[in-house]
Amino acid sequence: MAGLRMEFRLLSMLWVLAEGATLCAGQDDQCLDGTHGCDPVLAKCVSVPPVTQESPGYHCSCILGYAGSGREGDCQDVDECAQGNGGCSQRCVNTVGSYRCDCHLGYTLSPDNRTTCTDINECLRNPCNSVTTCANVPGGYRCDCRAGFEYRGNICKDVNECRSSPCKPQEQCLNTVGSYFCVCLDGNCTDVDECAQSNGGCSQRCVNTVGSYRCDCHTGYTLSPDNRTTCTDVDECAQGNGGCSQRCVNQLGSYRCLCHHGYILSRGSRTSCIGMTFHNLLLPIAIKSLLPNHKIIRD
């Protein structure tokens, strides 16, 4: 009896499979023949096995950036900015079917991910005049009076240091633009080299002048406007990506350009990236290995 039951179950399963195969064979592909009801522009039709003879052999799916049933007229734009600001660090701008990240004034999008805003170092384009020094601040900059000048009526004007009697009794003080110097009255005065003592308090270079001195910085650094003695690193990458065509990496006193995967720096250039090809990468290596004593000349 148990054997008969098992045989009956197997026959029933075979009958169901055979009927299903008949239904599938008789079902037209509505995605291919165009009889589906999906939106022709904002949705795509996906063929699926029908459950019954009457059920459709497809389902509709809205394209990326849209949501809804996928039926004609039922795909609506998704506001990506409504969820976590679209992943943007500052402003998120929704567009039809997509979105983009934008930055506040004084910031620029990082070229690596297009979502993070980084501060622009406006001081790299020297926006201040000759009697002021530029100090970069988040989202902007300010112009501070140089040493020897002071703000009077929102204008940097020369300070007359001689009013504070900085010279010795046997010396006469002469004011200059931005500084002063002492003139010896009896001919026995000598200039004091302030730089000879602890480098004048300067963090990098000390420049002695007649009756005074000033601090200066190496290339890639700028004087801090707070004390005029300390040099701070200039972030070259913050302005125009350092001129790099792809990635810019700031370093102390300098920077360097890097390329994405599959690219190399162009020969003779430290900023432009080109795609790796047999001609510009593999061919010179192959020639060098075969002809080690021959010089490779590129176009």
pLDDT digits (tens, 9 = 90+) for 31-41: 888 888 899 99
Single pTM value for the model? 0.47
The pLDDT value given to residue 104: 95
Where the chain has pLDDT below 70, the residues are 1-27, 53, 187, 278-299
H-run or E-run covering 157: strand 156-158
Q: What is the dihedral of CA 104, 107, 109, 115, to 10 degrees?
A: -50
- Please state, in angstroms and rounded to a whole number, the distance separating the CA atoms of residues 125 and 185: 45
Q: Which pLDDT score, from 0 to 100, does residue 286 have?
A: 53
Measure CA 33 to chain center.
48
3-state SS, one letter per residue, for 172-231: EEEEECCEEEEEECCCCCCCCCHHHCHHHHCCCEEEEECCEEEEECCCCEEECCCCCCCE
- Residue 298 confidence (pLDDT): 44
Q: Which domains does the chain have, with CATH numbers?
A: 80-119 (2.10.25.10), 122-236 (2.10.25.10), 237-290 (2.10.25.10)
CA distance 244 to 288: 29
| Nearest alpha-carbon partner for 103 in 144, 151, 139 | 139
Tell me what pLDDT residue 4 has. Answer: 36
In the prediction, which pLDDT does 51 show? 73
Decide: 101 and 119 in contact? Cβ < 8 Å: no
Write the single-letter amino acid at 116: T
pLDDT for the residue 159: 93
pLDDT score, position 54: 73
